[in-house]
Amino acid sequence: MSAALKPTPEAPLIRLRDLHVKFESRDRTVNAVNGVDLDLAAGEVLCILGESGSGKSVTLRALMKLLPKTAKVTGEIKVGGRDVQAMNEGQLADFRGGDVAMIFQEPMTALDPVFTIGRQIAETVQRHEGASRSADDARALELLELVQIPSAKRRLSAYPHELSGGLRQRAMIAVALACRPKLLLADEPTTALDATVQIQVLLLLRSLQEQLGMGVVFVTHDLGVAGEIADRVAVMYAGKVVEEGPVGALMAGPLHPYAKGLLGATVHAGMRGKRLTTIPGAPPMLDKVPTGCAFAPRCAEVIEGCQDGVPPLRQIVPGRQARCIRVAPGEGQPHI
C-alpha cells in the first residue's frame, strides 16, 4: 500500500509548476500544455475550464502519469508532497486508485464489460487494502448505497450494459471511491448524460466530496457545471491558464476576454429573446501556436501590444489572476 497523502500549508494537495507536455512524432510536435502552474488545497474543488484542445484533460492525466510514452513531460508535479514524476511502476500502481482516483468521461469504455459491477469494485478494494472476499463484497455494497444506486444489492451482480448511463456513471464513481482517495480527478464525467441526470450526478459528487473531505479537480467545458460544483476555476486556452479565481467572482465578472466569451456563450436564466455571444474562429493548432497572446486572433479587444510576447499570468486582486495586458491590477473584486 502507498504512503498516505499528507498535504500541509507548505505542501498543498496538488502543486504544479511550469508543467509542459509535448507529443512528438516524426512529422510534428504538439505542445499540448505550455507552462501550467496550479495548486489545490485539501478539500477544495477546482474546475479546469476550456474548449476542446485547451490542454485540460492532458493536465489531468499528467497528475496520474497516465500519458502515453510519446508524451514528453517536464516541470514539477507533486501530489500530497510526493513527486509523481519520480515514481516507479510499483509506486504508481499503489498511487492510482489508492491515493488518487479518476472518473472518466464515458463509463461504458472505462468499466470492464465482462465483470459485474460488484466484482469490479471488490477487486479494487482487494488490490489496495488486501481485505477478505466477504469484506470486499460488503464494501462494494456499501459503496453502491453511498452513490445512491437503487436496489444496490441486486445491482452488485449486474453487468455494465445492464445499467442506464446515469447508473453506470454512479457505478464508476463507486469504483473511484473504493479506497477512500484523498484526491479525485473527474474528466468531464457528465458530458454524455442528459440534463436531468447530469445535475443529479453533480449534486452527488459535491455531496460526496463534502462528506469524505476529498480534493477534486473537475475538467469541463461548461460554465454551468463549474458553477454547480467548483470552489475555484482555472480557465485554460492553448495549453495555458489564462484566468484563475473563485468561481463566484469569475462568473460575476470575468477578466480575460476568453473567459468573458465563454460566459457570454452560456445559456442561463433570464436570457429568453437575447442573442448569445459567439467567439469567432477556432482554437489554434498546438503545433503552430501563434507568437504573443494565443487568443489574440479571436479576441474582440485585441490591441497592438498583444502580439509583442506571451503575457504573464499576473495577480489582479488577491486570489484572482489573468493573462492579459489589458487587465490592470486592481480590476475585479475578490470573492468574499
Tens of pLDDT, residues 250-267: 999 999 999 999 888 777
Q: How many whole angstroms separate alpha carbon 300 and alpha carbon 311? A: 17
Task: Work out the angle at residue 134's Cα, subtended by the Cα atoms of residues 157 and 165, and round it to the nearest 5 degrees.
Answer: 30
Chain segment 204-261, per-residue pLDDT in tens: 899 999 998 999 999 998 888 888 899 999 999 999 999 999 999 999 999 999 999 9
Res 1 pLDDT > 60: no
On the CB side of 327, CA atoms within 13 Å amount to 26
Write b or e for each residue in 11-39: b if 16 or more Cβ atoms lie within 10 A of its Cβ, otherwise e. ebbbbbeebbbbbeeeeeebbbbbbbbbe
Residues 325-336 have a mean pLDDT of: 67
What domains appear along the chain, each with residue ranges and CATH number?
Answer: 14-322 (3.40.50.300)
Residues 162-183 have a mean pLDDT of: 90
Lowest mean pLDDT among 154-158, 196-200, 202-206, 237-241: 196-200
Res 10 pLDDT > 70: no
Cell numbers of 123, please?
477487486
User: Residue 47 forms beta bridges with which residues?
Assistant: 218, 233
Q: How many whole angstroms separate alpha carbon 223 and alpha carbon 79? A: 26
Q: For position 191, what pLDDT does the model report? A: 77
3-state DSSP assignment of residue 105 = coil
Task: Work out the angle at residue 233's Cα, subtended by the Cα atoms of residues 5 and 271, and round it to the nearest 5 degrees.
Answer: 145
Q: For position 98, what pLDDT does the model report? A: 84
3-state DSSP assignment of residue 187 = strand
3-state DSSP assignment of residue 124 = helix
Residue pair 297/310 in contact (Cβ under 8 Å)? The answer is: no
Q: How many whole angstroms separate alpha carbon 86 and alpha carbon 229? A: 32
Confidence band of 178 (pLDDT split at 50, 70, 90): confident
**Sequence-distant contacts of 133-140: CB under 8 A, at least 24 apart:** 139/178, 140/174, 140/178
Chain segment 280-318, per-residue pLDDT in tens: 888 888 888 778 899 999 998 899 889 888 999 999 999
Q: For position 201, what pLDDT does the model report? A: 86
Nearest to 218 by CA among 332, 71, 49, 90: 49
* Residue % of the chain over a pLDDT of 90: 52
